[in-house]
Structure 1
Amino acid sequence: MDAARVAMDSDRLEQHIQRAKDAIENDKKEVPPFWINKYKKEAAKNWDIFYKRNTTKFFKDRHWTDREFEELAPKGDQQVRCLEVGCGVGNFVFPAIAENPNLFVYACDFSKRAVDMVKSNENYDESRCQAFVCDLTENPLVENVPANSLDLISALFVFSAIPPEKMATAIQNLYQVLKPGGYVLFRDYGLYDEAQIKFCKASDKRLDENLYVRQDGTMSYFFSDDDLASRFEAEGFKTVTNGYIYRETTNRRLELNVDRIFVQAKFQKPL
């Protein structure tokens, strides 16, 4: 997509949030319990199908991460060990290790197909990265990553795919492999994002409060900053930074403006 991103002005932001609140309030459609349970149970399967259909062509490489999180651009000769959860097909890991020679990245996803694509990438080098299949809500990370060994964990647009009632288990999983003093670098969909408005206007997409299902069966949760902080602090993390990022995105080709809201945070495991 040919797009330009600029900060959203305050008047536009206020109008957007009111529009989002109205859409959420008017969304009275319900998904039957059978389908809610099915979507949650088959989350990994649906993402596997997603990667079968889209292969490596859907998401763009993330070259912006070390600008947003300076910890991903280590200085000096000391190696920094990072885990990327929800690695997909490697849109974070390969730019990260190419741009930062002292960075080693573990990469996991609950889609086996996605992990296989990471391993088949010509830039995959086990001296720089190690990919494995893992469902954060089911499998202990310590089966693949030593306990208390990581400097950083990257969680970019992954927790939104996890049902809210399973997030605590996933966060506990991260806590076990992070060093005391280490950081979780977090970015995901924020409450009142344009995508949430579209879900509200569609038919039968709401599974629970702020949780929706896409046409392909994958799920998306929208975080408030307070909700996000409370989830990590409940599992022992300290909130270092936490807030919203507002962007007005313009698709020049379609002449379409889209208002995006993300939540970005940094959590630390206490020393």
Structure 2
Amino acid sequence: MDHMQWSEEEEAAARKKVEENSATRVAPEEQVKFESDANKYWDTFYQTHKNKFFKNRNWLLREFPEILPVDQNAKEKVEESSWDQIRSNFSRMQGTEAHCGESCVSSAPGNKGRPNFPNPDLEEHSEGPGKTGRFPGSNATFRILEVGCGAGNSVFPILNTLQNFPGAFLYCCDFAPEAVRLVKSHASYTEARCSAFVHDVCDDGLAYPFPDGVLDAILLVFVLSSIHPGRMQAVVHRLSRLLKPGGMLLFRDHGRYDNAQLRFKKGRCLSENFYVRGDGTRAYFFTKGEVHRMFCEAGLHEKQNLVDHRLQVNRKKQVVMHRVWVQGKFQKPLHWTQRGNE
């Protein structure tokens, strides 16, 4: 059942369950390895499961039609491909745009009163690919980045659709080398339309294979939740710099009191609403308000931010599960207003 509402009793029961399973925390000295070896745990995960664990995300175009180019030719092709219904659904789902006021200006050190988006043509790129124009996808007219691509469960449905759009190019990265190897070894992978690379989004010093300010869309789906809460804001700030003015960051992740959060046993909690699984990978569970603050702090305008409650039934096990996701769409403003040190 889609988009269901919880009763007060159901939410209270979920809150109690979370209080119980988070009462005992993982010892701080043990937590260090889950942070320092995060990429190793995920690399082992993909070595074990290959591309058999997650299903292909064929719902992406329904929820995020922004990953299609929106020029006139694209619109005509979308209609020819019967995506007009998707567009209709998207328009219906769009919430009221939220402007973030003061929080749209970065408060990072040295950025007080200034937006956090450098112009890609400025001096910091003068010696880089931004000047020469020679980087993967440099001739593209529409560029997408998927962060945390895993074994390609989003990559290949997107590439399949982008065949109709010759100007489109997809970048995808993961910090697990095995995940990127799986993507590159797939029969549908082609460097003419896609560039897969190993990258740790938490390492702000790592360069991307393209300059800042060139992306039309960034896909951040079930990725941010695996990052330590103390590092999330810096990641969102960095990603926002990659977008063109008007570009969209598309977000979907675990919501607070999702069935996955309720199922954690005692002793698996790292910090509030942040847990470690048995295989060493981690998961955070967001509220709508947290998501709003994080992306607005990075200077993006909220176009959509909703909590999606669903009821899933496992008929084989006769189990009913409440699933909760947070989905958001955040846009880099076309123009910035310079603010003083207020």
Same fold (TM over 0.5): yes
Question: For residues 145 and 45 of structure 1, what CA distance do their matches in structure 2 show?
Answer: 26
Question: For residues 34 and 304 of structure 2, what CA distance do their matches in structure 1 show?
Answer: 32
Aligned-residue sequence identity (percent) comes to 41
TM-score by length of 1: 0.92
Question: For residues 289 and 190 of structure 2, what CA distance do their matches in structure 1 show?
Answer: 39
Match of 1:41 among 36, 44, 49: 36
CA shift, 1:139, in A, is 4.7
Question: For residues 190 and 32 of structure 2, what CA distance do their matches in structure 1 show?
Answer: 38
The residue number in structure 1 matching 2:213 is 148
| Contact residue 219 and residue 251 of structure 2 kept, 8 A | yes
Superposed CA RMSD: 1.6
The answer to whether 1:95 aligns with 2:157 is yes
Match of 2:247 among 152, 169, 182: 182
Structure 1 gaps of 5+ residues are 1-5
Question: For residues 171 and 205 of structure 2, what CA distance do their matches in structure 1 show?
Answer: 14
Q: Secondary structure at the match of 1:7?
A: coil
Q: Secondary structure at the match of 1:154?
A: strand
Deviations 1:152-180 (A, max 9, x none): 00000000000011112211221121101
CA shift, 1:21, in A, is 0.6
CA shift, 1:144, in A, is 1.0
Q: Secondary structure at the match of 2:244?
A: strand
Question: For residues 264 and 141 of structure 1, what CA distance do their matches in structure 2 show?
Answer: 28
Q: 1:26 to 1:203 in 2, by over 3 A?
A: closer
Question: For residues 58 and 290 of structure 2, what CA distance do their matches in structure 1 show?
Answer: 28
The residue number in structure 2 matching 1:221 is 284
CA shift, 1:62, in A, is 0.5
Q: Secondary structure at the match of 2:263?
A: helix
Question: For residues 310 and 270 of structure 2, what CA distance do their matches in structure 1 show?
Answer: 26
Q: 1:144 to 1:16 in 2, by over 3 A?
A: farther
Q: 1:193 to 1:13 in 2, by over 3 A?
A: farther
CA shift, 1:74, in A, is 3.2
Larger strand proportion, structure 1 or 2? Answer: 1
The residue number in structure 1 matching 2:323 is 260
TM-score by length of 2: 0.74
The answer to whether 1:17 aligns with 2:11 is yes
| Contact residue 44 and residue 110 of structure 1 kept, 8 A | yes
Deviations 1:117-157 (A, max 9, x none): 10010100111111000000115564312211010000000
Structure 2 gaps of 5+ residues are 75-140, 335-342
Aligned length: 263
Match of 1:121 among 186, 194, 197: 186
The residue number in structure 1 matching 2:257 is 192
| Contact residue 253 and residue 286 of structure 2 kept, 8 A | yes
Q: Which moved more, 1:25-34 or 1:224-233?
A: 25-34
Larger Rg: 2
Q: Which moved more, 1:157-166 or 1:98-107?
A: 98-107
CA shift, 1:80, in A, is 2.5
